[in-house]
Amino acid sequence: MLKLHIFYFVKVTLHICDIFLSDLGFYSIKVILHVCNIFLSDLGIMLKLGVARKDGMILNAANVLFGKEPSLLHPQCKIRLARFEGTDKRVFRDQTVCEGNLFEQYDAVMDFCLKHLNLSGRMDRKFRQDTLTVPYEAIKEAAINMLCHRSWNAENTTPSLAIYDDRIVFQNPGAFPLGMTWQDFVNDHIGSLPANPTIANVFYRRGMMEAWGRGIGLIMESCREQELPVPETKVVPPFVNLTIWFKHSLTWGVKTSTPQMEDSYTPSHTPSDDDFTSSHNEIHNPSNIITPQDKVFEFCKSPKSIVEIAAMLGVNDRRWVRKKYIAPYIGTKLQMTIPDKPNSQNQKYVSIEK
């Protein structure tokens, strides 16, 4: 979940993976190359990123980072996402399992959070300030830490994200370094200790994380700025849980009580995908859930810029908003106001009326 220091996958990344370049999705790779201004052959790319050997053999890290179907070779390469009704996991409102590569899992986490967390606004002088229930920066850093620093030493342990009415829980397989606690990282006693340095390096080259290891500090800082309770961490082998409590309940703004109970999402056993489809759970009809895409289409009934759309979603990563919520729908749900100059700084987007 956070800065986990498990050495197993550091060794695994040195092992040969039974895959070929054709098994990898080069879209994510080419994005990294564009960011880093790298121009190399496919094998040269892999060597530069540290996920291949000079003799042409591909490492396991390449599969989980860029594989088209990574779970075929690494069954634990998946993440479970759930929105529960109330404050326990008896009733599902929504749930899914993403078995894509780590970049696809990151997108799935961000989409799921934007789909289920509330957006609120307040007037700050002349402008409306919109914020998510949990700060976007906190979600981003927690998601990246969860994917980059997880343990890979068991096929039946996978990361998960659970959203309740009063909190969000990031659960990750792993443990802190021997003799260290969460507080050591909060107080900046130590820098980054990536469990999987090859994976962390690729995320760094992609521009999604920094080399200084400030993720935990950024989570704490962003929650403090939004006046949320202090995030909690709890080690329950083989997992580490990060819990971020909401200031208000997700159900119609009802205030939540000060958290005093233990996290009900902490399992007493190693969880499996069956936990999300148990006959003991009820699943509500999700047809009434408004997706982030629906919000964008409604918001763009009048022309809106990428800055306005990102602000409406409570997201400060405009490149990600364009990739996830605008580009896929151009020509079907949205249209550009300046179609002959798609990169114009004056570009706006408007919903297509059916």
β-bridge mates for residue 130, sequence order: 121
CATH of 79-286, picked from 3.40.50.450, 1.10.3720.10, 3.10.20.30, 3.30.565.60, is 3.30.565.60
Phi, psi of 185 (to 5 degrees): -80, -35
Per-residue pLDDT of the chain (354 residues; tens, 9 = 90+): 333 332 233 333 434 455 555 666 655 555 554 444 444 456 777 888 888 888 878 888 888 998 888 998 899 999 999 999 999 999 999 999 999 999 999 999 999 998 899 876 554 544 445 678 999 999 999 999 899 889 998 778 899 999 999 999 999 998 877 777 767 666 655 666 777 889 988 888 888 876 556 778 889 999 999 999 999 999 888 899 999 999 999 986 544 444 444 443 344 334 444 444 443 444 455 555 678 888 899 999 999 999 999 888 877 778 888 888 899 999 999 999 999 998 898 999 999 987
CB contact set of 118 (below 8 Å; sequence gap of 6+)? 132, 133, 250, 253
pLDDT for the residue numbered 353: 86
pLDDT for the residue numbered 246: 95
Domain locations in the chain as residue ranges: 79-286, 290-351
CB-side neighbour CA atoms (13 Å) of 22 = 0
CATH topology of 79-286 equal to that of 290-351? no
Structure tokens at 108: 């799935």
pLDDT for the residue numbered 192: 66
CA distances from 263 to 105, 216, 278, 311 (A): 24, 20, 20, 32
Assigned fold of 290-351: Arc Repressor Mutant, subunit A (1.10.10)
Residue 127 has a CB neighbour count (10 Å cut-off) of 10
CB contact set of 266 (below 8 Å; sequence gap of 6+)? 171, 234, 236, 239, 241
pLDDT for the residue numbered 274: 45
pLDDT for the residue numbered 34: 47
How far apart CA 347 and CA 327 sit, in angstroms, is 13
- Helix 26-36 vs helix 42-49: crossing angle, to nearest 10: 70
How far apart CA 318 and CA 305 sit, in angstroms, is 10
How far apart CA 26 and CA 206 sit, in angstroms, is 13
pLDDT for the residue numbered 347: 94
How far apart CA 61 and CA 49 sit, in angstroms, is 10
How far apart CA 223 and CA 134 sit, in angstroms, is 7
